[in-house]
Homo-oligomer: A and B are copies of this chain.
Amino acid sequence: MNSKGRITYNLIAGTSVERLAALSDGIFGVAMTLLLLDLHVPEKDLVVRVGLWQALHGLLPSLAVYLMSFITLGIFWVGQQTQLNHLERSDRQLTWIHLAFLFMVTLLPFSTRLLADYMEQPAALLVYWFNILLFGLALYASWGRARRAKLIRDDLPFETQAAICNRIIVGQSLYAFGALLFVISTYVSIAFILLVQLNYVFAPGEWLKRKSDRG
């Protein structure tokens, strides 16, 4: 194939935002459900020895890590959706940036099991953080590509475009700071990252702001 043929192909390849969104929903859906697949029902032996309530109680730390990963996936699913909602169309390069993003999504169940099994080891925490960092880099690259290639809908005000980038930078700075706290203790790290996440989920700042506007 001469270079002209390939360029023609590349112009028409991967232009559907809808298909990209559908594949993403599929991968996020599977990854979110598989997280919990490693939460095993307590063994009969253990239940006979300590009772079922006690055995279930022992699963709570793992459950907390799985919940944290579900929230992580939720945050980045919302983040990706927010970008895709404002795209007029996709192109081949943007599609591959998102496929890279989705590869990171399929890695998270591994990083989660690693952290659940080795919670006290800095290596496990750093792998987990690195996974989150790659999420952020991919979404940042995606938005940059969308701006350069003019894939964004016209009706999106410039300040909102900037807000999407700022959001990623502030979030990733907080995650990086949280990961660095491993020098004190990996548990402090995990607690800090969970707090940052809950802040994104509940957005208490927004709520306080609106309350003061009305008050």
For window 1-30 of A, CB contacts with B under 8 Å fall at: 1, 3, 5-10, 12-16, 19, 21-23, 25-30
Question: Which among B26, B78, B164 is the interface contact of A29 at CB below 8 angstroms?
Answer: B26
Interface 9-mer from A36-44, A136-144, A175-183, A188-196: A36-44
How many copies of this chain does one complex carry?
A: 4
Tell me if A206 is interfacial: C-beta within 8 Å of chain B.
Answer: yes
Tell me if A170 is interfacial: C-beta within 8 Å of chain B.
Answer: yes
User: How far is it, in angstroms, between the C-alpha of A211 and the C-alpha of B93 when the chains are bound?
Assistant: 16
Given contacts A15-B85, A167-B6, contact A29 B32 (CB under 8 A): no
How many A residues touch B, CB cutoff 8 Å? Answer: 84
Question: Are the CB atoms of A167 and B82 closer together than 8 Å?
Answer: no
Given contacts A106-B70, A203-B6, contact A27 B29 (CB under 8 A): yes
Tell me if A92 is interfacial: C-beta within 8 Å of chain B.
Answer: yes
User: How far is it, in angstroms, between the C-alpha of A67 and the C-alpha of B102 when the chains are bound?
Assistant: 11
Mind listing 16 A-B residue pairs with CB under 8 Å? A6-B203, A8-B160, A8-B163, A9-B166, A10-B206, A12-B86, A14-B81, A16-B81, A16-B85, A19-B25, A23-B28, A25-B25, A25-B29, A36-B107, A41-B113, A96-B202
